[in-house]
Amino acid sequence: MTQEAMAQLVANTILQGSDAMYGRFLDVTSGAQERFEQQDWKSVQQALKTRIQFYDHHVGLVSQQLGAMLGKAHATRSFLMAVKAAYVTLLDDYPRYDIAESFFNSVYCRIFEHRNIRRDKLFVQSSQGGRIPKYPTPLLRRFQSQAGIYATLERMLDSTPFTLPWRDKSGDLKRVTQILQARFGPQLTMSFTLEMVRQPFFRNKGAYLIGRLDMANQRRPLVLPLAISEQGELYIDACITDSDDVSIVFGFARSYFMVYAPVPAALVDFLNQLMPNKTPAELYTAIGCQKHGKTELYREFLYHLDNSDDLFDIAPGVKGMVMSVFTLPSYGFVFKIIKDKFAPQKQMTHAQVREKYRLVKEHDRVGRMADTQEYRNFIFPRDRFSDALIDELLEVAPSCVNVTDNEVRIRHLYMERRMIPLNIYLEKAEPDAITQAVQEYGDALKELAAANIFAGDMLFKNFGVSRHNRVIFYDYDEIAYLTEVNFRHIPPPRYPEDELAAEPWYSVGDNDVFPEEFRTFLLVNRTVADEFDRLHPELFEAGYWQQLQSQVKAGHFHDVRPYSEENRLGHATLSPKTA
């Protein structure tokens, strides 16, 4: 076989593998409505994990197949370039070129074990110039306001694929109509167009109808979250029309949506119009295409690097005992690498740390755990690193870092959204902001517990404050399933001398946790302590945590809504919102 013919065969094999992967991805996604309507919440969580795992599984299958086909004979630059050229030709007019390019990159990196990674051999930039493919069926349903707001909303709701009965469709529609009239006033009395994504979005216990209002002078997003009552009936739970509020629904600390998207680039393009502050990387990730989200994030990083001149430096805050964190001050992400050696009190291995991060990736993050993207052999320009950072990395992780005159190569790292560490935030915050942060921190612990997650190391330094002032957990090396933790009361001292002893007078097992001790390391600041006692005193009681465990073991799945009470139909503000 000629090199050209072999290159074409390899290119076809990789694209077929990408098609097979995404086909299974869509198969799992297509079951989201049935799982939602049957309220099969355990299957919802399992489907999330299953869908994530498809990608690496298919990359492995294709890599093995190519290994058997090629051996080492074709690992030459000319052959690799011929394969890429053949692949580019296959992607002309191909609807999922974005996913296919990332799949190609993954197969290449798997075969070469993340070595020999050069831009000319990979799709570091897309070959398609941002082309937006067409959907096989129209992406949107359009409704003209010929008979007023209520009638337009009713036609839209009747076009959805749900099979459950509505609890009070007329009442819900009247309330949504009132909210929209109050927020947009005269603009909705004139002609407007309602455009809605044809397929509903599903996540956890909710479904979401997502679209926009195209009015005379502005376009605004319209998101209608749906839920199921105790009687098994559908109802509209909220009405969201603000881009920032929609952005929170698509936040980086939440699980990925299930939405049937045969052409993800077109869906991402529409979502970007609703949330202009979101990047393609964030939106691809939010709809479950997290591997291509990783590709887009790297492209966005390279663009930022080319358009900035500041230096990478050690991230502010208390240094971690397991991870070393650095950042570029002008950039919205941090870079985390696992240290070669951990502090003595950290009894774990590198493999266990990576497993914790994998657990978070596949678990319901309930808006309280930051998502991460994992990279290997990540190359930075040496002249953008401060000397202090170079010294730090070579001291704590010499096995992972290689420095030359021109580049810094890091064998393994995580990229994660940058936030203000909660301990630093509390030190500088005004009283009202402290109250809000303490409320958020306690809510974060409770919502994580409801999702069967115990943070482990609960120090404020392991939590961050987002741009929306939400408290997010981001240090995962001691994370555990709540049901695996043994919450205990501290037994009373046997003798007065017990309280003065250097060691506890009671036995302590590996999984034992004493919530009464949380006060000792959390409530150093008097103002913070007072707010805790007012807002979350139950967090210091073993009985409260044991009750949460019982609920999780009984299969109770809490409602964790990604929107404020003010947007819910029973509480929604009727005052206009600014754009």
Q: Which residue ranges are tagged as binding site for ATP?
A: 315-321, 336
d(CA 382, CA 384): 5
d(CA 4, CA 351): 41
Burial of 129 by CB count in 10 Å (0-12 exposed, 13-18 middle, 19+ buried)? exposed
Top pLDDT among 419 and 497 is at 419
CB neighbour list of residue 22: distance below 8 Å, 6 or more residues apart: 96, 99
Q: Specify the pLDDT at position 146.
A: 75
Q: Is it the case that residue 487 has pLDDT exceeding 90?
A: yes
Q: Is it the case that residue 117 has pLDDT exceeding 70?
A: no
d(CA 557, CA 227): 13
Region of poorest pLDDT, from 104-113, 198-207, 341-350, 357-366? 341-350
Give me the mean pLDDT over the 525-553 stretch. Answer: 92
Q: Specify the pLDDT at position 436.
A: 95
Top pLDDT among 363 and 171 is at 171
Q: Specify the pLDDT at position 575.
A: 46
Q: Which of 98, 172, 245, 371 is catalytic?
A: 371
Question: And the tokens for 507?
Answer: 């036995």
Q: Specify the pLDDT at position 315.
A: 93
Give me the mean pLDDT over the 499-513 stretch. Answer: 79
Highest mean pLDDT of the ranges 61-70, 414-423, 497-506:
414-423
Contact 435, 423 (CB under 8 A): no
User: Model confidence at 578, in pLDDT bands (50, 70, 90)?
Assistant: very low
pLDDT, tens only, 441-459: 999 999 999 899 999 888 9
**DSSP H/E element including 465:** strand 463-465
pLDDT above 90: percentage of residues in the chain: 73
Q: How far is CA 236 from CA 170, 227, 354, in A?
A: 11, 7, 40
Whether 559 is catalytic: no
What's the mean pLDDT when you consider all of the chain?
91
Say how many residues make up the chain.
Answer: 579
Q: Specify the pLDDT at position 74.
A: 66
d(CA 459, CA 555): 29
User: Model confidence at 71, in pLDDT bands (50, 70, 90)?
Assistant: confident
- Strand 206-214 and strand 193-197: the pairing is antiparallel
d(CA 525, CA 60): 51
Give the distance, in angstroms, between the CA of residue 105 and the centroid of all CA atoms in the same chain.
22
Q: Is it the case that residue 247 has pLDDT exceeding 90?
A: yes
Give the Cα-Cα-Cα angle 492, 494, 500 (nearest 5 degrees).
Answer: 85
DSSP 469: S
Q: Which residue ranges are tagged as binding site?
A: 315-321, 336
Q: Specify the pLDDT at position 218.
A: 86
pLDDT, tens only, 127-171: 999 899 988 889 999 998 877 899 999 999 999 999 999 999 999
Tokens 């030359």 sit at which residue? Answer: 404
- Strand 486-487 and strand 512-513: the pairing is parallel
Q: Specify the pLDDT at position 577.
A: 44
